[in-house]
Amino acid sequence: MTLATGSQFLAIPGPTPVPEEVLRAMHRPVIEIYGGEIVETTESCLRDLKKVFRTEGETFIYAANGHGAWEAALTNTLSRGDKVLVCESGRFAHNWGVMAESMGIAVETLPGSWTAAVDAEAIRRRLEADTGHEIKAILVVQIDTASGVQNDVLAMRRAIDAAGHPALFMVDLIASLGAVPFEMDAWGVDVAVSAAQKGLMMSPGLSFNAAGPKAMEAHRSANMRTRYWDWTERLGEIPYQKHCGTAPVHLILGLRQALDMLLAEGLEAVWRRHRMLARATRAAVAEWAKGGAVAFSITKEEERSDSVTTILTGEGQDPADLLRWLTANTNVTLGIGIGDLKGRAIRIAHMGYCNAPMLLGTLSSVELAFKALGIPHGSGGIQAALESLAHDLGDMRG
């Protein structure tokens, strides 16, 4: 006996559901790569990515996952022995730093926690102490998909400016681009890194760099540049150079369709949708938490991310049991806790191609699982989610 037959609800924080239109755009014979459609489509994607990153800088597309774009950002701007400051707030900035270290970069970590956003004041203090300007770049994530935190990128920029420090500001937007507000140029971000499979509604396999003028300047003297990632190579006139080889044809065709959908909805509307779905999720979790089943991983309401909600499970509750039950009985798949939260948390993604019924179906299934498994929980979660959505829709009309 199962209630799982029906649509799959994949609510892990990446990869996220891919719209039918995007899948269909990829379902066609391969095309030639030296001219015509794929050359124009690559150009238009590079142009439209600027709209999504909100930059007039350069954009680059790699046939790689997010880790590839991390490596690209580092090799293109830094030199062996340079020091970077990694601002910790969960798992992903740390892992970006691990990659930097493996490449011969000196990594200093600004210690953070899994329960709070990066403290911009701590950045300012550290940079003020760096009078010799040894730190060449600051690495942070906007949303950490493991802890569920959303960092305040603009506050960090202000902290760097307050310290009068020249380091490059590099931000990982892999779990936030196309989900929450980001203004690369207005917020003074020098290098932005993202990937296709989260907010951007595409299947995994493409990732991106966006580089502002200061980053392009640093690029000229960086000595870790390698051919595949090299920005200069990719800015060349020959179409083949844009991908440093054969274009990932179907991925580009899919990305084109995904960007069309994102821009047709309008970035501001996309951001509002994510905000509303996230608020509804938090409203449900707050009710469930009253019964002790779960708790928020991030202490302050305003630091909880709008693309994924990480929740701690109660003592003695193995989250794997809950997730197994959900998939087997409802075809809802949630993310498991990772890193410091391994074995202690679940993650509900509300990112990318996600609407109200998908979210409500997911949340209702979670509440159903609590009931079926006898996990103590406050019972008004779904009601609270509905009220949150109704309230926010009312606000938008008014």
Where is the binding site for substrate, in residues?
Answer: 347
Contacts of 93 (CB under 8 A, 6+ apart): 86, 87, 139, 140, 141, 144, 172
Region of 339 on the Ramachandran plot (φ > 0 left; ψ -120 to 50 alpha; else beta): left
With contacts defined by CB under 6 A, name the span among 64-72, 220-228, 233-241, 351-359 that binds ligand PLP.
64-72
**According to the binding rule CB under 6 A, does residue 66 interact with ligand PLP?**
yes
CA separation for the pair 258, 198 (Å, rounded): 11
Min dist. Cβ of residue 380 to ligand PLP (A): 31
With respect to ligand PLP, which residue has the nearer C-beta, 135 or 195?
Answer: 195
Strands 207-211 and 294-296: unpaired
CB 82 within 8 A of CB 106: yes
CB of 228 or CB of 325, closer to ligand PLP = 228
Least separation, in Å, of the C-beta of 3 and ligand PLP?
Answer: 30
Cβ pair 339, 148 in contact under 8 A:
no
Bridge-based pairing state of the strands 308-313 and 345-349: antiparallel
Residues binding ligand PLP: number (CB under 6 A): 12
Asked whether position 307 contacts ligand PLP by CB under 6 A, the answer is: no
By residue count, the chain amounts to: 398
Pick between residue 141 and residue 293 the one whose CB is nearest to ligand PLP.
141
Q: Could you say which residues in the range 313-342 bind ligand PLP, by CB under 6 A? A: none
Is 178 near ligand PLP (CB under 6 A)? no
Among 10, 11, 12, 14, binds ligand PLP (CB under 6 A): 14
Determine if 172 is a binding residue for ligand PLP (CB under 6 A).
yes
Angstrom distances, CA of residue 140 to CA of 48, 93, 398: 24, 6, 37
User: Closer to ligand PLP at the Cβ: 337 or 381?
Assistant: 337
67 scored as a contact of ligand PLP (CB under 6 A): yes
Binding residues: 347
CA dihedral defined by 259, 260, 262, 265, rounded to 10 degrees? 170
For tokens 């142009």, the residue is 47
- The residue among 14 and 112 lying less far from ligand PLP, judged by its C-beta, is 14
Q: Least Å distance between CB 332 and ligand PLP?
A: 20
* Interface residues toward ligand PLP, by CB under 6 A: 14, 65-67, 92, 141, 144-145, 172, 174-175, 195
